[in-house]
Amino acid sequence: MDGNPVGWFGDHPPTDERGFLDFAASLPVPDLYRAIKDAEPVSPIASHRFPSNRRRHYERMRRFPEGLVVLGDALCSFNPIYGQGMTTGALGVRLLDDSLRERRQNGGSARVGGFSRGFQRKIARVIDSPWLLTTTEDFRSPRTVGRRAWSSALLGWYTARIHRLTWSDRFTARRFLEVMHLTVRPTALFHPYIVFRALTQGSHVDQAARK
């Protein structure tokens, strides 16, 4: 578990108040527990389970109906704990708006001439980044099933170090949040400063953050 009230593979926060607080206290980073331990709940605790990330590759279909486009959760549904679904949906809507404007400016219609297939190809590229982010996180557990990219183990190892660094390093924490909020590309996490700190101080940071 990292610093969120979430869990994987049965390691879930209980829905009774005492159990929830105990779970928060067991997290490696104490901030969440400190923030809620004396707070008064405004509602009962609710639990939500999510079975899997799911991505549909409509861009690989040989034939695709004109006048139809697929975006949002219908195209790609992410584990909600990473908070990517609405942002990715909004990016898809913006791409659709841009594509329709471009088509209109060129005097064409969205119902003919491969518009829909072209759009599915373009939106697939938009989804690549958030998909990489969420699946890299989920594949850090050996119990996660699915097709792992050859780079999955290496990326998982690197992002585990980045996570630990975010507990104490402001620059890395900000960059990490920018990447997770899709305002900059994941390659921003390979900034020379972050690579250096992640490779040289990852384990020390881990111990320091637990004190």
Ligand X SMILES: Cc1cc2nc3c(=O)[nH]c(=O)nc-3n(C[C@H](O)[C@H](O)[C@H](O)COP(=O)(O)OP(=O)(O)OC[C@H]3O[C@@H](n4cnc5c(N)ncnc54)[C@H](O)[C@@H]3O)c2cc1C
Q: Footprint of ligand X on this chain (CB under 6 A)?
A: 48, 72-74, 80, 83-87, 89
Nearer to ligand X (CB atom), residue 82 or residue 139 = 82
CB of 80 to ligand X, least distance (A): 3
Nearer to ligand X (CB atom), residue 84 or residue 159 = 84
Nearer to ligand X (CB atom), residue 67 or residue 80 = 80
CB of 46 to ligand X, least distance (A): 9
With CA atoms as reference, report the closest residue to 135 among 94, 177, 210, 76: 76
SS3 string, the chain, reads CCCCCCCCCCCCCCCCHHHHHHHHHCCCCCHHHHHHCCCCCCCCCCCCCCCCCEECCHHHCCCCCCCCCCCHHHCEECCHHHCCHHHHHHHHHHHHHHHHHHHHHCCCCCCCCCHHHHHHHHHHHHHHHHHHHHHHHHCCCCCCCCCCCCCHHHHHHHHHHHHHHHCCCHHHHHHHHHHHCCCCCHHHHHCHHHHHHHHHHHHHHHHHHHC
CB of 168 to ligand X, least distance (A): 25
Nearer to ligand X (CB atom), residue 93 or residue 154 = 93
CB of 145 to ligand X, least distance (A): 21
> Which residue, judged by CB position, is nearest to ligand X in the bound state?
85
Nearer to ligand X (CB atom), residue 84 or residue 152 = 84
C-beta of residue 162 within 8 angstroms of C-beta of residue 172? yes
Nearer to ligand X (CB atom), residue 75 or residue 205 = 75
Enter the tokens of residue 83: 């908070």
CB of 148 to ligand X, least distance (A): 24
Determine the Cα–Cα distance for residues 82 and 125; give it in Å rounded to an integer: 19
CB of 1 to ligand X, least distance (A): 18
